[in-house]
Amino acid sequence: MMDYTSEEFKRKIEPFQWDSNNGQYTFYLEIRNGYLTEIFQKRADEGFLGNGYDWEALVEIFLAEIYEGDDDSFEFDSEADTFIVYSEDGNALADFALTFREACNDLDLIADLFSRAELN
């Protein structure tokens, strides 16, 4: 397990970000950076905007179909301008963060997962 306080970890999850405060860990993405907008634009006619809620819908499919780690402690608090998932289990969230960020490098996989996402 990579140390989630390290600069190496933070570099590996970019453009996502990591924060910890009082025993709560947060993995998030500020939507304004435009990351993977082309995936969401493919379903714009269905109402997807590429906002935090759409990222959450994508992650829900990823968790259900791909992720094999412990996600029982994850909670979402996304907003229009930010995708946010948090947990009190820093190790579990860090494992998810690395796994999901790596999956984002496979555009075909992400597009396939997103094809089954439901509008929130």
pLDDT given at position 80: 94
* Model confidence pLDDT, tens digit, residues 47-89: 999 999 999 999 999 999 999 999 999 999 999 999 999 999 9
| pLDDT surpassing 70 at residue 120 | yes
Q: Which pLDDT value is given to residue 5?
A: 86
Going from N- to C-terminal start, the domains of the chain cover 7-114
Average pLDDT of the residues of the chain? 95
Sequential DSSP letters for 30-93: EGGG-TTHHHHHTTGGGT--SSHHHHHHHHHHHHHHT--S--TT-EE--BTTEEEEEES-HHHH
Taking residues 81-99, report their average pLDDT: 96
Share of the chain above pLDDT 70, in %: 98
User: Does this model's pTM top 0.85?
Assistant: yes
